[in-house]
Amino acid sequence: VRALFQALGQIPEKIRVPWMLRNIEGYALAEVAQMCDSSIATVKRRISKAQQRIDRRIGPDTFAASNTSPSRLNPQQESPRHG
């Protein structure tokens, strides 16, 4: 988990925020797009770019987007979105 957050800290905010909203907080793409004042297509591109950078830093599949959830990242703390 520490490696993931270190990698996220090195990613520009513009692509980090959509990735975190989608993969950590669990928001739908449409919600992320609205929060980021962007189109869904733009949000998808930014999430993909962020995932590529994370994969380069900590290795693919270490924290793949499909396997990332608030409970997997911190089982002691529920996400505000889901709690």
* CB neighbourhood size of 81 (10 A): 12
pTM for the whole structure: 0.72
2-9 and 40-58 are packed helices; what angle lies between their axes, rounded to 10 degrees?
120
- Both tokens of 34, joined, read 């609205």
For residues 44, 80, 36, 47, the Cα torsion angle rounded to the nearest 10 degrees is: -20
Question: What pLDDT is stored for residue 13 in this prediction?
Answer: 97
d(CA 59, CA 9): 16
Give the tens place of pLDDT for each residue, 19-65. 999 999 999 999 999 999 999 999 999 999 999 999 999 987 665 55
- Residue 45 three-state SS: helix
